[in-house]
Amino acid sequence: MKKILTLTLLLVLTTSLPSFGKVASGRASRNEVGGCTPFAGYLFAYFEGGGDMKLQEQLRFAVSEDARNWYALNGNRPIVASDSISESGGIRDPHILRGEDGCYYIVATDMCTAKTGWRENPGIVLMKSKDLVNWTHSKINLVKDWPNFSDAYWVWAPQTIYDHKAKKYMIYFTLQRTGDNRQSLITYYAYANKDFTAFESEPKQLFAAKYGSIDNDIVYKDGTYHLFYKGNTKDENGKEVKNGIQQATSKKLTGPWKEDFKYLDAYAGTRTHVEGSSVFKTHGDPSGAEGGDWILMYDLYTSGRYEYQTSKDLKNWTKEPQSFRKDFFPRHGSVISVTKEELERLQQKWGWVLTHEFESDGNPIIRDKHTADPAVLVENDTLWLFAGHDMEGHQTNYVMKNWLLYSTTDMKHWTEYPSPLHIDDFKWANSKQAYAGQAVKGRDGRYYWYVSTNWCGIGVAVSDKITGPYKDALGKPLLTKEDCFDSKHSWCVIDPTILMEEDGTTYIVWGNHECYIAKLKDNMIEIDGDIKRIDVPNFTEGPWMHKYNGKYYLTYASEWPEKIAYAVSDNIWGPYEFKGIISEIAGNSNTTHPAIVEYKGEWLFLSHNGGLPDGGSYSRSIIAEPLHYDAKGNILPIPATKEGVVLKDVNKR
């Protein structure tokens, strides 16, 4: 018996911060675990297709609340290092299964193309867990373990399904052999042993498609097994003329299987090729045993996309593919449904990315992530905090890929929401940098989020809901460096702030080194009239505009390292009278960024510092302090405190 290594999965490669899914048993779907615990989301197991090639072929997890919007766990880093679980040093095509026994099972291709290219691979990695966090693992080397398979060349895309008749877990996979000069791609199967560490007997042939198949995926519905696979059509000379996702069916798990030779994916017969299909069911109505759509997702491996089509019956599929919204670049993977408790357990281990509540204990407000560039919006009794996101601790440069959103009703109890906006949502933003922004509610009731992307310009995203997701409203920048007529450097067009008058008239202010202002049209996505300069001393960046007692207050980052200064005017266009410094250099950070708002009868000042243990100028954290005016309307100096904001009405509770 092979030795089983128990892995307590840790964050790897870094020491910093941290609907119904795949029909697990092969039987008809349910919306609950064991008939009692409802599903609350989905877990996606995949390997990565972007970044450093040496790090791509490793197991990663992502989660979703709706099976359409996905968020990578662990910052899209591997949840376990491939060289600790595989023979080759890499894994591909991970398939995850919810078992009948309360355990979870993963099988994956043991292959590292970064090292050996597309030459032969040894076999299959098997993993088992009782909690989705701690896993045991084992390896199958088909050539060494089974003499009759000494000619095995490719052992690809294994998957697991529970055979209710045999009461065992079946592992099936694509095999190419040198014995027939690698002319065929045939699906084999074997049952796993009780410990899920090896095959209990020699593999047998399961399915031999007319022209071969890879990436097989079996689901069960209404007495029929449906086998989805990447297939092809060849002419009389044996030349492939078409390929795509096909389906075969059988009344028995072990066959025989009947091919229908139809193509299911929207790209069959085009120059866009797909593979790695996986079928799972969405939850639908939580009160019913059925409901929800079937999703056929696939990997558009030549174009870097991951898309899906839907069906009610596994036979008739929507014609137009749709794209997942995601913050990672997945390759061939699989999905299961998970409960609320499972989602929480996964995020407790690898970082929160979905909606969750937490309690803040003073400054910094948020401690499980690095947040920067605060912007605030008050609606009714809720304060919404829009934040930039420094991706890691101990960063040595600005690495910011998305924006974050939080809400509170008392400045102590907070809710974090899934990231509503990614830099990749702006296709024109080649900088790939998600810099400071601010959101407001437009006259039409929609929410407009103005964000900077460094030298690429200021964009505007829009959503019907404050929680998003937000979409690029223009398909191009609203403002570019060409609009900054007195500036010579490329990063002059950053840090937008918005002020909306009581009558709905809206202004945008922005800049670095030079401060600019313009009026927005009523549609919120066009400039109305001329762009002008605001002249204030020692302006660095990060403007914030608010009104108090009828006057306009322009607060901004000043000098370097940055302090917070402010100026006041009777007219939003100026001239502005400089009033002085109100906040000194932020702790452990060269930059700072103000936001000021009145909330529940109290004025609040937000900014950022480098206050977390692994913080610094590029790994910042948002803080909040009370703000006070004197009788003349001057802002009093704002000292940094550990306690932060404690609302008076909260103390009365």
β-strand partners of 504: none
- Domain identity same for 419 and 547: yes
Total domains in the chain come to: 2
pLDDT digits (tens, 9 = 90+) for 305-336: 999 999 999 999 999 999 999 999 999 999 99
- Domain identity same for 508 and 593: yes
Among the candidates 309, 330, 349, a domain finishes at 349
- Domain identity same for 281 and 370: no
Q: What confidence tier does 650 reach under pLDDT thresholds 50, 70, 90?
A: low
Q: What is the mean pLDDT of residues 8-22?
A: 36
The reported pLDDT for the residue numbered 50 is 87
Q: Which of 460, 443, 441, 511 is nearest to 481 (CA)?
A: 511
Is residue 542 a part of any domain in this protein? Answer: yes
Among the candidates 330, 349, 368, a domain finishes at 349
**Whole-Å CA distances, 253 to 1, 94, 194:** 28, 21, 20
pLDDT digits (tens, 9 = 90+) for 288-307: 345 689 999 999 998 889 99
Is residue 137 a part of any domain in this protein? Answer: yes
The reported pLDDT for the residue numbered 8 is 39
Is residue 2 a part of any domain in this protein? Answer: no
Q: Is the pLDDT of residue 113 over 70?
A: yes
- Domain identity same for 221 and 250: yes
Q: Is the pLDDT of residue 285 over 70?
A: no
Token pair in block for residue 45: 């197991």
**Rounded to 5°, angle at Cα 191 from 185 and 196:** 115
Contacts of 638 (CB under 8 A, 6+ apart): 564, 582, 583, 605, 625, 626, 627
Q: What confidence tier does 499 reach under pLDDT thresholds 50, 70, 90?
A: very high
Is residue 3 a part of any domain in this protein? Answer: no
Q: What is the mean pLDDT of residues 243-248?
A: 98
Q: Is the pLDDT of residue 23 over 80?
A: no
Contacts of 299 (CB under 8 A, 6+ apart): 49, 274, 275, 276, 277, 306, 330, 331, 332
Q: What confidence tier does 35 reach under pLDDT thresholds 50, 70, 90?
A: low
- In DSSP notation, 431-454 reads T-----EEEEE-TTS-EEEEEEBT
Side by side, the strands of the sheet bearing 621-627 are 595-599, 602-609, 621-627
Among the candidates 298, 328, 349, a domain finishes at 349
The reported pLDDT for the residue numbered 292 is 87
Is residue 276 a part of any domain in this protein? Answer: yes
Burial 507-535 (b: 16+ CB within 10 A, else e): bbbbbbebbbbbbbeeebbeeeeeeebbe
- Domain identity same for 318 and 376: no
- Residue with the bigger pLDDT between 301 and 622: it is 622
SS3 340: helix
- Domain identity same for 343 and 427: no
With residue 370 as reference, give the H or E element that holds it: strand 370-379
- Residue with the bigger pLDDT between 359 and 26: it is 359
What sign does the dihedral 285-326-278-158 (CA atoms) show? negative
Q: Is the pLDDT of residue 259 over 90?
A: yes
What sign does the dihedral 328-333-335-340 (CA atoms) show? negative
Burial 165-186 (b: 16+ CB within 10 A, else e): eeeebbbbbbbbbeeeeeebbb
The reported pLDDT for the residue numbered 219 is 97
The CATH number that applies at residue 311 is 2.115.10.20
Cis peptide before 330 (omega within 30 of 0): no
The reported pLDDT for the residue numbered 290 is 52
Token pair in block for residue 69: 């919007």
pLDDT digits (tens, 9 = 90+) for 170-182: 999 999 999 999 9
- Domain identity same for 28 and 49: yes
The mean pLDDT value of the chain amounts to 93
pLDDT digits (tens, 9 = 90+) for 404-442: 999 999 999 999 999 999 999 999 999 999 999 999 999
The reported pLDDT for the residue numbered 302 is 85
Token pair in block for residue 77: 């880093």
With a pLDDT cut of 90, the percent of the chain lying above it is 90
- Domain identity same for 344 and 441: no
Q: Is the pLDDT of residue 199 over 70?
A: yes
SS3 347: helix
Q: Which of 189, 190, 237, 238 is nearest to 212 (CA)?
A: 238
Q: Is the pLDDT of residue 24 over 70?
A: no
DSSP state of 642: S
The region of weakest confidence among 15-19, 161-165, 499-503 is 15-19
d(CA 213, CA 252): 19
Q: Is the pLDDT of residue 360 over 70?
A: yes
Structural domain including 529 reads 355-651
β-strand partners of 448: 440, 462
- Domain identity same for 335 and 404: no
Is residue 645 a part of any domain in this protein? Answer: yes
Q: Are the C-beta atoms of residues 54 and 253 closer than 8 Å to each other?
A: no
pLDDT digits (tens, 9 = 90+) for 67-86: 999 999 999 999 999 999 99
Side by side, the strands of the sheet bearing 123-129 are 5-8, 134-141, 123-129, 104-110, 91-98
Q: What is the mean pLDDT of residues 376-387?
A: 98
Is residue 609 a part of any domain in this protein? Answer: yes
Q: Is the pLDDT of residue 36 over 70?
A: no
Is residue 11 a part of any domain in this protein? Answer: no
Q: What confidence tier does 283 reach under pLDDT thresholds 50, 70, 90?
A: confident
Q: Is the pLDDT of residue 163 over 70?
A: yes
Query: What count of other Cβ atoms lies within 10 Å of the Cβ of residue 12?
Result: 16
- Domain identity same for 341 and 368: no
Contacts of 530 (CB under 8 A, 6+ apart): 518
d(CA 178, CA 389): 51
The reported pLDDT for the residue numbered 542 is 98
- Domain identity same for 431 and 523: yes
Q: Is the pLDDT of residue 15 over 80?
A: no
Query: What count of other Cβ atoms lies within 10 Å of the Cβ of residue 469?
Result: 16
- Domain identity same for 340 and 451: no
